[in-house]
Amino acid sequence: MTRRPRVVIIGGGFAGLSAAVALCRRGLGVTLLEQKPELGGRAYSFVDEQIGDTVDNGQHLMMGCYDQALSFLKTIGAADRLVFQENMTVEMIAPGGARARLRAARLPGPAHMAQAVMRYAHLKLAERVSLLVGGARMLAMQRFERSSLERSSVSALMDRLGQSENARRVFWYPLTIATLNEEPSQASAALLAEVLRRAFFGRRRNSALVYANVGLSELYCVPSRAYIERSGGAVMTHAAVTGLELDGGGRVLKVRLREGREISADYFISAVPWGALLRILPATAAEDAFFSRLNRLSFSPIICAHLWLDRQVIDAPFVGFIGTTTQWLFNKDAIWTGRASRAAAHLSFVISGARSLTERPNQELAEQVLSDLNAMIPQARGAGVLRTLVIKEKQATMAPSPESWAARPQCVTPLGNLFLAGDWVQTGLPATIESAVTAGHNAANALAARAGLKAAA
Ligand SMILES: Cc1cc2nc3c(=O)[nH]c(=O)nc-3n(C[C@H](O)[C@H](O)[C@H](O)COP(=O)(O)OP(=O)(O)OC[C@H]3O[C@@H](n4cnc5c(N)ncnc54)[C@H](O)[C@@H]3O)c2cc1C
């Protein structure tokens, strides 16, 4: 009987866990190593000891077009913890309190979105038509002017498409910051076009927003670990890899752990952020052009604030704010199935592309969020604040600049048995859950092909 290949996966976020699950499905012997006490990486939950509720490090939204992520969650048995919007519905509040809904019509895609835009009351009629024409031109550019799109920023693209200041303010820029986590002047137009193609120009279901009704760790970390262990694999936490050891022929022999232990395997997947990968590679490999270009990538931060109030101030699961520092408000009482604390309301706020704010003290940020809440939701004025918690994720995602497009590597490396996964690996997508899982699956497929296994069914 032939021995099944042994694989070591470094990193226990969405990318590493999805690669591990995919390889377990194919019968490979998997050991996953995570440096922290818990799995989850940049998408995890914990219990806030002061109030007693579960808290996500930041609210995570998915979409119906997250094919790879949704298939991974189904495989690990987590699909029933997801809530799918039947029709994409996003309510946006403008300064002064005017509200307008972007709501997909009950029509086949992409007519469902065309009608949503034509009914979006924050836009004048001519702006709605111009937005639809602009979207169609963006898609045409994706096919016929790809390289110019890849070099362009979102704001430069908006100039080219003749989009009004108002259309940028109430539609394009909130969409860019939410999906790309970057200011439009810095964000890649090619990535925005891909988001638009997948989310809005496909099936009606693709544009539905999807969220978990439990904390992130319960959603995917606990079930992934159970799946891997049931399949005969191993998951080790507190297992920081400090180095990869190579043989003379350009292959990885083993990983060294901080505690001194070494683990050898036939194949390796690195599912850690690029900086962590450069630190564990031997210097000779890190200087190779394939790896050294990763030094051109950079991070973009996200700030998340949580407020617990003594009364409910909103019914909807979430709303978008236009023109305030705070961009999104999530109502955890409408999103989650239950909470432990007796606070009447748990609200979670997101500020993406927050580079200019990360040095501001947490107290100041909490006050800013509260002031934005009071300005946009008058019912919140006078509510008692029971607790505030601010989480700054300074390295939330790869900054999606036009320069990053060329610097992102494929999953196959010059080291014959080392493969790369992570949201920052080239998937053609912004650094999101879908990108992380796509990269995890791509790495698993490339590894299986290298190991001579048949393509996955
Ligand atoms: C606040 C916030 C909000 C977000 N919102 C959304 C959203 O709404 N929708 C969406 O799609 N995406 C969102 N994202 C992005 C999403 O969280 C990431 O794209 C995804 O979690 C990245 O997963 P990953 O596995 O690639 O990397 P990571 O989650 O970073 O996993 C890498 C893992 O490797 C481990 N590691 C590093 N070095 C070593 C080592 N030497 N040895 C062992 N282990 C190591 C790390 O501890 C970590 O657990 C958000 C991110 C943040 C921070």
Same domain, 383 and 258: no
How large is the average pLDDT for residues 162-191?
97
Same domain, 273 and 315: no
Would you say residue 289 lies in a domain? yes
Kindly tell me the burial class for residue 337, based on how many C-beta atoms sit within 10 Å of its own C-beta (0-12, 13-18, 19 or more): exposed
Give me the percent of the chain exceeding a pLDDT of 70.
99
Kindly tell me the burial class for residue 325, based on how many C-beta atoms sit within 10 Å of its own C-beta (0-12, 13-18, 19 or more): middle
Kindly tell me the burial class for residue 324, based on how many C-beta atoms sit within 10 Å of its own C-beta (0-12, 13-18, 19 or more): middle
pLDDT at 248: 87
Same domain, 10 and 131: no
Same domain, 306 and 292: no
Checking DSSP bridges between strand 345-352 and strand 299-309, what pairing results, if any?
antiparallel
Cα 13 to averaged position of ligand 1 atoms, centre (Å): 5
Of 381, 398, 415, which marks where a domain is finished? 398
CB atoms within 10 A of CB 142: 18
Here the CATH number for the domain that contains residue 315 is 3.90.660.10
Best residue for ligand 1 mutational test, from 73, 349, 433 (most atoms within 8 Å of Cβ): 433
How large is the average pLDDT for residues 169-187?
97
Here the CATH number for the domain that contains residue 261 is 3.50.50.60
Would you say residue 67 lies in a domain? no
Same domain, 326 and 290: no
Would you say residue 158 lies in a domain? yes
- The pLDDT tens digits for 22-39 are 999 999 999 999 999 999
How large is the average pLDDT for residues 435-457?
91
Of 207, 235, 253, which marks where a domain is finished? 207
Of 207, 238, 273, which marks where a domain is finished? 207
For atom 2 of ligand 1, which residue has the closest CA? 58
- The pLDDT tens digits for 330-350 are 999 999 988 888 889 999 999
pLDDT at 283: 94
Best residue for ligand 1 mutational test, from 18, 60, 256, 278 (most atoms within 8 Å of Cβ): 60
Does residue 457 carry a pLDDT above 80?
no
Would you say residue 82 lies in a domain? no
Same domain, 381 and 424: no
Predicted model pTM: 0.97
Would you say residue 66 lies in a domain? no
Q: Residue 4 — very low, low, confident or very high, per pLDDT cuts 50/70/90?
A: confident
Does residue 455 carry a pLDDT above 70?
no
Same domain, 98 and 199: yes
Would you say residue 68 lies in a domain? no
Same domain, 416 and 293: yes
Same domain, 283 and 305: no
Same domain, 248 and 382: no
For atom 32 of ligand 1, which residue has the closest CA? 272
**Structure tokens given for 448:** 């299986």
- The pLDDT tens digits for 86-116 are 889 999 999 989 999 999 999 999 999 999 9
Best residue for ligand 1 mutational test, from 42, 175, 236, 303 (most atoms within 8 Å of Cβ): 42
pLDDT at 266: 97
Does residue 122 carry a pLDDT above 70?
yes
How large is the average pLDDT for residues 202-221?
96
How large is the average pLDDT for residues 129-151?
96
Same domain, 94 and 188: yes
Which residues neighbour 166 within 8 Å (Cβ) at sequence distance 6 or greater?
Answer: 122, 123, 124, 127
pLDDT at 1: 56
Same domain, 202 and 219: no
pLDDT at 141: 97
Mean pLDDT of the chain: 96
How large is the average pLDDT for residues 187-199?
97
For atom 20 of ligand 1, which residue has the closest CA? 433
pLDDT at 66: 98
- The pLDDT tens digits for 366-411 are 999 999 999 999 999 999 999 999 999 999 999 999 999 889 999 9
Question: Can you tell me which atom of ligand 1 is nearest the CA of 439?
Answer: 26
Domain residues for 277? 6-49+215-297+401-450
Distances (CA, A) of 314 to 308, 317, 406: 13, 8, 43
Number of domains, the chain: 3
Distances (CA, A) of 174 to 121, 169, 184, 385: 16, 7, 9, 27
Question: Can you tell me which atom of ligand 1 is nearest the CA of 58?
Answer: 1
Would you say residue 72 lies in a domain? no
Residues with CB under 6 A from ligand 1: 10-16, 33-36, 41-43, 57-58, 60-62, 240-241, 271-273, 276, 280, 302, 304, 393, 396-397, 422-423, 431-434, 436
For atom 12 of ligand 1, which residue has the closest CA? 432
Residue located via tokens 């920023």: 153
Does residue 202 carry a pLDDT above 70?
yes
Would you say residue 252 lies in a domain? yes
